[in-house]
Structure 1
Amino acid sequence: ALAAKSVAEAQKGLVFAGFLKLLLPLIVVIPGIVAFALNADIAKSDEAYPWLLYHIVPTGIKGLAFAALVAAIVGAVAGMLNSISTIFTMDIYQSYVNRQASQAKLVRVGRISAAVALLVAFPIAIMLQNLDQAFQFIQEFTGFVSPGALAIFLLGFFWKRATANGALLAAIGTFVFSLLMKWLLPELPFMDRMGLVFILCVLVMVASAMVERTKETGKAIELSPELFNTTRGFKVAAAIIVVVLIAIYTIWW
């Protein structure tokens, strides 16, 4: 959405992504339900999908599904490596180590940082191989980052007194608050923890602005009502997504 050529294109992308997200519960939950109903001989939850793939899916479709799975994994890893190398090269190396580095030098540093990231990932992956549910683990620890990121985006866009120091504190605080809550309140569901951490990050940014006594900065983003105009199709699609989500949570919560 942030890279879209226009607001209308960004809205179409968001609606499309919203409908794709509605499929996620089916993709994640249904294989486990089917494996349970068939009394699958598995030791942990993450074995449900491969068990179904091996015992139920026909040979041709099985190969197609496996190829799609591998392609998805490779695509995800490639995207992560690209992000890691870009962040390290442009935001750390070029900004603090060598401001005059040539393009060839930056490319080489990016490749090295990506290779180092892979080497670091190998032992971590081995340590995590005994997880019962890898998907839930990923969602939980993604939640260490997302509350602070959401707070930074919302206040950065809609509150003109938000400061860079407040954003930095929220970025650090999202990890600190999440770790403390996971340690002190281990029984608290991670989605509830994410909500509480988000509120704390917002309070940190507000407190930072109060301490710094900032006024509305000239660099603040100017928002006008025209930016939030949506087409009738977007409104209808968004309403459908909201209704489906309400139904899902009401029936299966």
Structure 2
Amino acid sequence: MNALATASLRLDAGPVDYALLLVYFALVLGIGTLARRSVSSSLDFFLSGRSLPAWVTGLAFISANLGAVEIFGMTANGAQFGIPTVHYYWIGAIPAMVFLGLVMMPFYYGSQVRSVPEFLLRRFGRFAHLVNGISFALAQVLIAGVNLYALATVVNLLLGWPLWVSIVVAAVIVLAYTSLGGLSAAVYNEVMQFFVIVAMLVPITLVGLHKAGGWNGLTHRIMAANTDASEQLHAWPGSNLTGIANATLSVLGIVFGLGFVLSFGYWTTNFAEVQRALAARNMSAARRTPLIGAYPKALIALVIVIPGMLAAVLSPELAAYKASGGTLANGVTYNNAIELLIRDLLPNGMLGVAITGLLAAFMAGMAANVSSFNTVFTYDIWQTYVVRDRPDAYYLRVGRLTTALGCVIAIGTAFIASGYNNIMDYLQTLFSFFNAPLFATFILGMFWKRMTPMAGGVGLIVGTASAVTVDQLNRHGVLHMSGQGPSFVAASAAFVMDIAVSVAVSLRTAPKPDSELVGLVWSLTPRDTLKSTRLAEDYGWYRKPVVLGSGALALAVVLDIIFW
């Protein structure tokens, strides 16, 4: 971002706004300090001693996802593509979150694993475990860099500090409370941050709609400014989002590539999310964690996508950038959509709430990445392959040091994210590399007992290589795809190749005996073992996972029909 653009985007905060920020940071560090008192073992540090109630883990589950992926990435998508962005929520999130709660959490929580890679260790053995441990750790520091870059951008615009100084300062703040109280500090801060984020998004949406003349005024402005207005105002077929001109193929790409492979790959195997459910106090609370989170996830789309659309017509800089097809070098990109709205719409006082909301979002996202990175690195790499059989206090120290290491690496990866004008392009590429093949391995291994340990590791490697190959072919002009369609195709290729190779390798290698797969494979797990004794507050028909899941799916369907 050039100096002129930085000056024009500078947020004119007053004393009240800075006071709100100071109060927020005091609360964040205070929660970290209080949480430290409850940390006496590595399980306390990494999984909060498996003691948290469902409503806490449910809100933390969704707040951990409300990082740069949502606030910068989805508002950027809203500005660039319009209504089709909702597919990332109602098609690309809710079904997978329900599947996680109803089908996969009983296996995760029932097996008492401490991480997703540890589940792979029990199902497939050391080869697949090591491959996934390394790939997951790499993915988390790359995604943490995205959140850190977004966080530093806000600090840069608020205080005028150079970007590299802003990145370092932002990393230190997140490191402070995460290393103090571990997952408990991250989770309770995420609950607070959820409400702060909502307090930012709702006023921006309402004020923006008022200025645009309501929903009808917004649609008229979009129709006047864009040749593809019809595609931007309707969810289907979403050709502008996928970059696939054929309507049928575009729908297929959204439903299979995004709705099945990318979505299920992210929500059901991403330990940064699953870790919150593993911290729940019992099986019932663990299953309800993603189901509770599904309701705000479905609704929050409205206050993220619509602000992006508003920014594209209310901000002269972004409107000019969009009219040029994203080629105008005016220092503004789609990533600046939310910042431009905050600058143009909110007065002092509300500006402080909005800035605090942005910082809360990016800190929640980065904390989720770092807390899952330190768990996987400590348990699944260091303890398993490097230094074994040490006292628990030793691994607690390693966890705190790893937290610092993750923040340092994220400082470097933040500069990679700075090279993208829509960070959702970057993030979806990462998800296609790491999450899509992992989901293929999980789903096949969970429902096909014949899948072998060798197939688990080889399938992951081939799946990731397939996604990378598709990405490179597109970058070199062989496939000619634009938008986020390349990541959908790459994810689909990773999934199909992982399944095909895993089946082929399984038919030529020896599987584990059935006795070692009880609790890890659906057909060999007695239904009684997927249940647990519930606490008194867990009873009630409205708390039943099937009821919660059905309600979330119904809500997503109704919203999708409204914006069809």
Provide TM-score, normalisation by structure 1.
Answer: 0.83
Equivalent in the alignment of 1:203: 500
Q: Are 1:189 and 2:478 an aligned pair?
A: no
Q: What SS does structure 2 have at the residue aligned with 1:160?
A: coil
**1:237 and 2:551 aligned:** yes
Letter in 1 for 2:392: Q
Aligned-partner SS, 2:507 = helix
CA contact (8 A) 2:374 2:399 kept: yes
Residue 462 of structure 2 is matched in structure 1 by 173
**Paired residues of 2:333 and 2:421 also in contact (CA < 8 A):** yes
* Structure 1 residues 7 and 118: CA distance shift in structure 2, 3 A: closer
* CA distance 1:48–1:111, change in 2 (3 Å): same
- Taking structure 1 as reference, are residues 232 and 47 closer, same or farther at Cα in structure 2, changes over 3 Å only? closer
Please show how residues 144-159 of structure 1 align to structure 2 within 5 Å.
144-159=433-448
Change in CA separation of 1:209 and 1:241 when aligned onto 2, cut-off 3 Å: farther
Q: Distance in 2 between matches of 1:83 and 1:215?
A: 29
Would you say 1:12 and 2:298 are equivalent positions? no
Instruction: State the alpha-carbon separation in 1 of the partners of residues 558 and 365 from structure 2.
Output: 28
Letter in 2 for 1:180: T
Q: Secondary structure at the match of 1:59?
A: coil
Cα 1:171–1:104, aligned 2, differ >3 Å: closer, same or farther?
same
C-alpha distance 97-7 of structure 1, shift in aligned 2 (>3 A): closer
Amino acid at match of 2:434: V
Change (3 A) 1:192 1:53: same
**2:308 matched to which residue of 1?**
32
AA aligned to 2:307 is P
The percent of aligned pairs where both chains have the same amino acid is 26
Structure 2: 5+ residue runs without aligned partners?
1-100, 106-277, 319-331, 476-480, 532-543
Partner secondary structure for residue 143 of structure 1:
helix
- Tell me the SS of whatever aligns to 1:211: coil
CA distance in 2, matches of 1:189, 1:150: 19
Q: 1:41 to 1:153 in 2, by over 3 A?
A: same
Q: Distance in 1 between matches of 2:393 and 2:546?
A: 49
Q: What is the deviation of 1:52?
A: 0.3
8 Å Cα contact 1:11-1:234 kept in structure 2:
no
* Compared CA separation, residues 182 and 103, structure 1 to 2 (3 A): same
Contact 2:452 2:512 in 1 (8 A): no
Give the counterpart letter for 1:90 in structure 2: Y
In the alignment, the residues of structure 2 paired with residue 224 and residue 105 of structure 1 have an alpha-carbon distance, to the nearest angstrom, of 37
Cα separation, partners in 2 of 1:24 and 1:197, compared to 1, 3 Å? farther
User: Are 2:354 and 1:99 aligned?
Assistant: no
Identify the structure with bigger relative contact order (alpha carbons < 8 Å, sequence gap 6+).
2
Number of equivalent positions: 249
Q: 1:12: how far off?
A: 3.5
**Residue aligned with 2:352, SS:** helix
**Is 1:122 the counterpart of 2:411 in the alignment?**
yes
Aligned to 1:131: 420
Task: Name 1:73's counterpart in structure 2.
Answer: 362
Q: Note the residue ranges of structure 1 that are not aligned, 5 or more in a row.
A: none
